[in-house]
Each structure stands twice: as C-alpha cells, then as structure tokens.
Structure 1
Amino acid sequence: MIIGTGKASARMAEAVEAHYGPCDGLVITRNGYARPTQGIEIVQAPHPVPDAAGVAATSRLIDLVTGVSPDDLVVALISGGGSALLCAPSEGLTLDDKMAVNRALLASDAPIDEMNVVRKHLSRVKGGQLAAACHPAQLLTLLISDVPGDDPCHIASGPMVGEDSTAQAALNIIGTRGIALPSHIRRAIAEGSSVVSPDDPRLKNAETRIIAAPSHSIAAAAKLAEVAGLDVRNLGDALEGEARHLGEQQAQLALSLQSELGPNDRPILLLSGGECTVTWRGCGIGGPNAEYALSATITLNGQQGIHVLACDTDGVDGAAEVAGAYAGPDTLLVAHEAGHDPATSLAQNDAHSFFASVDGQIVTGPTLTNVNDFRAILISPIT
C-alpha cells in the first residue's frame, strides 16, 4: 500500500509505479501538482492554508491504513508541504481553528521547526501519529527533505516519526512569538495533544530513509558551475533567519569578495540553501526568496558584475505562484524608470510586485519536488 503527502508526493507516486507497476494507495498533494498514476489515487488540496478538501483526504488516508496486518507493507511518500496538506484537527478543534493558527504562524517570524512543533500538538496525524495508525504493518517512509538539517521529525511535521517535544514546548513557542490564541485552542494543546513518542512500541516496525535533500541541489549546482570554470563557494544548505537580513549580509560578502578579485581571476559563485522567514510588516505580495533578492539588490546598489538569484525549489515562494527572483546591475535603474521604489517595496513586504515591475520574476510552475530554497550570487571581476 502506498500513502503520502506533500508537494512532491504525486511525482514520487508516479516514480514508484514506473518501477513496480500499478499500486494501491492514496497521496495528498498541492493543487496543480497532480501526476498521472496507474493505481494510486492522487488527491489535491490547498497549500499553505488547509481547507475541507485536505481534511476529507486525510480522513480517507487514516481509514485506508486502519486494519492493516503484520503481513502488510505500507510505503509512505513524504515531502515538504505535508504540514498543511495533511490536516486532521485534534479533538475539540475545527478546521477554522487550524486555519487561524496556520495564518498566525505564517505571519510570525517563527522558523519552520517551531511552526511544525505547534502544528503537531494540534493534530491527530502529525508527530508520529500516522505512523502509529499503520501499526502493526511494516512501514517504510521515503522522505524528500525541505528543512535545514534534514531532521525527519520536521519534514511535513513528522507524521511518520516519533516526536519528543511536549505540549508545553508548543505553548512556549506561541507565547514567545506573541501569537494570540483563544483559550479552547490552548486547552486542546495542553490537554489533548496525542503526539507519539519515538520509543512508542507502535513504531518498532518503522524504517525511514531520506532520498533527496537541499544539500543535493547545492552539490549539483556546484558541479555544473565548476565545469563552467567558476570558483564555487558553498555557504551551506541550512541557513535560516530573516530573509532581508540574509540578503544584506550575503550582498556585503559579495562586494567584499569582488574587491579582492583581479581582472584575470575566475568569477566566484556563492551558493546557499535553507529556509528564511519574513516578518510581516506591510500589505504587499512577497516571499522569503524575493525579499532576500530585493534586500541584496538594495545593498548592491547597482554594482557592476554581480547578479543574484533566489528561488524556492518547489516553484512557490511564499503564497505566490512565483518561484523567486533575479536581479542584476541594471535592476534598480529599471525600477526607477518604472516608478518603483525598492526601499518602499521592502518595507511593505512587496518584493514580488517589485520584481514583476522589472521583469525579474522567475516563474517555473509546479516543479514537482521540494528541497528548500536555492540562492546563488555570481561575482565577476571588474575589468
């Protein structure tokens, strides 16, 4: 039996059947990310805020694994995006409650691992609960990581692995991030959390493997760049923090490195990955990759020989159907001629609108994978 959830899950299901032929099962993917399969049913639901379609699909998934035997094999295909797509509110909570919490988390500056801790303690499937529902079958989980560090408990909020955080830890995150929640939601966390401990006997037949990760995308890009003769500097695949701050920092690094280049030196390519956050201050349309690129562009101030690219590998930066953005030395001049002020756009979290005005958006459509953010800064010598 095949089950799964996430932005890459339908493509993973397609690949499974390409090797093994028609299979029974069901996976839940983002709207527009479906793939043709032979036997596995593909159900689509919204992301990043869940709705009734996700709730209904999750209920069907739970029913599908209910009653499995020790002789059964369940293969779970899990990728980023599953936190929103796999939706089963805890007892006493409604879908509206879950949606309100999701919106509050997305609007806060909480990193993804903190968001997922809260989500787990408001769910009947996350934090190892779906894995427990598969007991006593043999369980093999194949993961595509979209989180810094590739910890399975953070990918799609860890439905197939045990969870060692406590309900109090979730409440502490809510308090630290200044998220106001009604008393019944707080009570559901404190009294109704049903996450499964890593040493729960229902997980003894579970095996987990990561088959793709952000480091793989960085390594592949580095290999191509080296063949092209570039001096590659890998800054890491697990960088976190405020998007605008990281954009400024890496732009300053680029300026410093360029100042040390001689006219005959190889161009430098800075590569990095990870998952930045955006603290919502304005009313614009933006995402962490576009905001990173805009902040870097402002810091570079039209410097010749430096180009910036930042994209989410799933093709969706924030809630917009835009993968990310590109900027070069002429970007600010084009923006000025179009009447767009970059500083105002940054202050309003309106990076997507800014890059749309300068023809700097990168639109891929669904990529059918999700290995976190990808950033590149190309630094050429000034001749």
Structure 2
Amino acid sequence: MRDALLEGMALASVLRDFLADSAPERVAPPLLRAHFEGRSVPDRVLCLGKAAPGLAAAARAVWPHVPGLLYGVPGRPGPPGFLDLRGDHPEPTPGNVRRTREVRDWLREGRGGLLALVSGGTSALLVAPRPPWTLREKAGLAARLLASGAPIRDVNAVRLALSEVKGGGLLKDLGGWPCATGIWSDVGPGQARLVGSGPTLPWRPAVSAGQVLRALGISAPRGLPAPSPAARRPRDRWFLLADGLFLRRLAADSLRARGLRVREVPVREGEGADVLAARLVSLAVAARGGGGPPRAWVGVGEATVDVGNHRGAGGRCSHLAAALALLLRETAPSARWSLAVLATDGMDGSGDGGAFTDDRHVPNPSALKGALVRRETASLWRGKGTFIPRGPTGNNLRDLWVLVVR
C-alpha cells in the first residue's frame, strides 16, 4: 500500500477517504454529547454554512426530537424534522437577504435556549446590509477586499461594520434566551470565533473598517456606518467542534497506519502558494535517501494566490499542485513522488475541487510554467485528466494536501 501511494490517483483517492472520515455527521455527534454532558439539552438548533446539512444530521442523531433549521448551500438534503433553507454562494444575492429574514423570524418566534452550529460559507449566506448600504454596494466592496488578498480578520472588520447580523447580530433576535455556539472551523488556529463572521459571537475587530480600507487603498461607495457591536451575554458560550488541525492529525495518523514516515507541516497564515511549494520541496529534497518507506508531508491551510488581472480557471489547490510539480521536476528529476491537493469544501476558486499528479504523469515544465503565469492551473489539470471534480462536499475544513516522496 505504501508504494501504491506514489501513484497520484491512489493518493487522491486516499485524500477523499480522509474527507469522508472527517464528515460532520460522523465526527460531531460524540463531540456534542461530550460538550453537553451535565448541561441542559438545547431547545432548538440552528445550523449555518457549507457543512450545515451534516451538522444538522449530527444534532438530530444526538437529540432526535429537538426542532431545528439549517441554512446552507445547494447539495445534499438535511435530516427529517429540520426546516431546510438554501442560499447562493459565494456571491450573496437578494434571495440570500430574504432567507436571512426567514432565519431571523424563526429565531424571534421560537422559545428556549439555542445551539448554533456555524461553518464556513455563512458570511455569504447570512446577509443583512446595514442601512443605507445596499446589497450591491456591500457585495462589491467585499469582492474587492477578497481580491486584494486581505487577511480574513481585516475582511471581517469591514463585514462587521456593514452588517446587522455579523459579530453577534443574531443574538438580538433571541431576546433573553441563551445561546451555545459550536464551530466547524475553516480558518486558522486561534481564529475560530471569526467563522462565518461570528453571527452569534460578539467580537470587536483589532482595527476599524475605515483603517482597513485606507491601508489597502480601497475607496468605499459611501460613508461607513457607525459601529454597533452586539453586547456580550454572560450565559452564552462557544466551543470548537473541528478545524484544520483535526483534519491534519487524522490524515497523518492514517498515512502512518499505511506504513509511511509522516511529517505534519504547518501552513503559515497568509503564505503564498509558491512560497509554500518551495518550502515543501526543500524539506522533501533534504530528506531523500537512506532507504526505508516513502516519506509523506501533510498539511491543511489556505495558501494565497495573487491573481492580478488574470481571469483564468484556477484556485489555491490547483496552483499549489502545479508549483510543487514544477519544483520537483527541476530539483529532484530522479525521485519517485506523488502529490494531491484538494479543497475540503469541493470548490477550489474558479477551478475544480483540486488536483493530483506524480512523477510519471506530470505535465512538461513549459506547460506548468505557462499555467502558473496565466493563473490557468485548473485548465492544465483538467487537460491532463488529473483533477478532482468540483462540487459541494458537505464539509469545510480548509485545503488538504499531501506530498509523498521516495
């Protein structure tokens, strides 16, 4: 099995197994039971984001008779007994504004303590622009922020200023009822409260929205509203269900069980995909030789790609795969190796769901270089037939990559 993983297709299949093993409907039930042991059972459950159906299934498995509402992206159905709303992603639409009103009405009309299970994708789904800002103005500014490569904390500072529901805004619809928030995190360590812009978690940004925009040289179409942060409430609490570190450990343990020598590699927040590729290949080249089973490097994170004015089909995962493949061809031409990179939510930028390759099926250097320069890496892998199909997975724990070298 360990030598079989030097085939890119076999390695990609194993990564998809890791993704299935980390599905919220599998992972979350025992975590929910453990967290609520000795505590009152929630009276209602709200599940938000790309992982909402799986989180709803987990809650239903633990508390079969507790009513709930899920609001997610199109894809797999939710469990029986849950109100099921779907919105558009990644661009917020007027339909998302209407569905957000439905969520808020459901909260206002209900009674009892709430369990909110929040996952990535919630920011685009849960939309209530703060007057006089319009949806078009808010979405346009958010798109410019994301295109600038601004870190998520700065993006969220602007989102908070322009939204009635982010930064704990939904708590205003609960009256005095308590809220516990479980987080299925798609952000870096220590940032879990920012998932989905924290709709049930009051927080204050380290810098103001105006400071963020001035630092990036981005002009707003109108004046920014005065901050109106939600107040912290003593009976509320939050807890982490799973994050990228959980997925990285699961993948590393599984590879060790298959006989590989494994090293877990942290992805530095804001690190460029080309820089990460150079760091990984340097580690792999330095560790070659000495016999024994293949070595594997595994990581979870979101390396950045500056797309500039390019409008090609690509994303973080396909770009990282191409950068790794090019460096391996240039610096270790005699090595046996394979790599696979996938977006755990199934959507890698404007491309597919990820890519895989190995030393025997890698594109030629000129094709790799051209795709990297043009930001057309998804088209490159699609042409080779070594892409992971795009589509919602019901999960969202950042990007997962594995490099195997002998």
8 Å CA contact 1:150, 1:213 repeated in 2: no
How far off its partner does 1:4 sit? 2.6
The answer to whether residue 194 in structure 2 is matched with residue 154 in structure 1 is yes
The answer to whether residue 343 in structure 2 is matched with residue 312 in structure 1 is yes
How far off its partner does 1:7 sit? 0.3
Structure 1, unaligned stretches of length 5 or more?
Answer: none
TM-score, normalised by the number of residues in structure 2? 0.83
Q: How does 1:227-376 map to 2 (within 5 A)?
A: 227-236=257-266, 239-258=269-288, 261-262=289-290, 264-281=291-308, 282-301=310-329, 303=333, 304-320=335-351, 322-332=352-362, 334=363, 341-363=367-389, 365-376=391-402
8 Å CA contact 1:68, 1:136 repeated in 2: no
In structure 1, C-alpha distance between the alignment counterparts of 2:350 and 2:177, rounded to whole Å: 37
**Percentage of identical aligned residues:** 27
Instruction: Identify the match of residue 179 of structure 1 among 199, 218, 222.
Output: 218
Give the structure 1 partner of residue 13 of structure 2: none
Give the structure 1 partner of residue 29 of structure 2: none
In structure 1, C-alpha distance between the alignment counterparts of 2:220 and 2:379, rounded to whole Å: 32
In structure 2, C-alpha distance between the alignment counterparts of 1:318 and 1:50, rounded to whole Å: 16
How far off its partner does 1:378 sit? 0.5
Compared with structure 1, are the counterparts of its residues 367 and 95 closer, same or farther at alpha carbon in structure 2 (3 Å cutoff)? same
Count of residues in correspondence between the two structures: 359
1:119-173 Cα offsets, whole Å, 9 max, x none, are 122111111111343241121111101111142321111111121216x522222
Give the structure 2 partner of residue 55 of structure 1: 97
How far off its partner does 1:244 sit? 2.5
1:184-234 Cα offsets, whole Å, 9 max, x none, are 1xx23xx333232xxx25x22212111111111111111111111111111
In structure 2, C-alpha distance between the alignment counterparts of 1:373 and 1:66, rounded to whole Å: 36
How far off its partner does 1:301 sit? 1.8
The answer to whether residue 56 in structure 2 is matched with residue 13 in structure 1 is yes
Q: How does 1:41-80 map to 2 (within 5 A)?
A: 41-66=83-108, 72-80=112-120
1:6-61 Cα offsets, whole Å, 9 max, x none, are 100121112212332254332211122x4232221121111111111211111111
8 Å CA contact 1:147, 1:238 repeated in 2: no
Give the structure 2 partner of residue 114 of structure 1: 154
Q: How does 1:184-195 map to 2 (within 5 A)?
A: 184=222, 187-188=223-224, 191-195=225-229
Task: Give the 3-state SS of the residue equivalent to 1:276 in structure 2.
Answer: coil
Opposite residue 220 of structure 1, the aligned amino acid is L
Opposite residue 254 of structure 2, the aligned amino acid is L
8 Å CA contact 1:22, 1:38 repeated in 2: no
Structure 2, unaligned stretches of length 5 or more?
Answer: 1-43
In structure 2, C-alpha distance between the alignment counterparts of 1:169 and 1:306, rounded to whole Å: 46
How far off its partner does 1:348 sit? 1.8
In structure 1, C-alpha distance between the alignment counterparts of 2:387 and 2:328, rounded to whole Å: 18
Opposite residue 261 of structure 2, the aligned amino acid is D
In structure 2, C-alpha distance between the alignment counterparts of 1:54 and 1:294, rounded to whole Å: 35
In structure 1, C-alpha distance between the alignment counterparts of 2:241 and 2:268, rounded to whole Å: 17
TM-score, normalised by the number of residues in structure 1? 0.87
- Which structure exhibits the higher relative contact order, with contacts defined as CA atoms closer than 8 Å and separated by 6 or more residues? 2
